[in-house]
Amino acid sequence: QVQPVESGGGLVQPGGSLRLSCTGSGIIVSPYSMGWYRQVPGKQRELVAFMDGTGVVTYASSVKGRFTISRDSAKNIVNLQMSSLKRDDTAVYYCWTSHPQFSWGQGTQVTVSS
């Protein structure tokens, strides 16, 4: 079974940066859709950034201009570069990939705090 694995989460101060990565055995990132989502306790999982198979990207309005989704087709890795982090960005971040099957990662915690 395909299982994406996220990495790169952690504790960062407001205004700081983090880079999340997602990969897994058997996962192919191009030319397929993929995305990053996040969830805080008591709330629904929400879209952060999404890239479709043609490379068109959609961002949540709350992260536009601060986060960048990208993919490394040679290594089959999905990245999320996060800058100018805010306390409201604190959440568990999940990777979603679509090929060879729709799959969610286990999540990685991002905590923005001083």
- Which token pair is 88? 């409201």
pLDDT digits (tens, 9 = 90+) for 78-93: 999 999 999 999 999 9
Average pLDDT, the chain: 95
The arithmetic mean of pLDDT across residues 10-38, rounded, is: 95
Task: Give percent of the chain above pLDDT 90.
Answer: 89
Q: Is the pLDDT of residue 101 over 90?
A: no
Which of 41, 38, 20, 15 is CA-nearest to residue 114? 15
Q: Is the pLDDT of residue 1 over 80?
A: no
Instruction: Give the C-alpha separation, 106 to 96, whole Å.
Output: 10
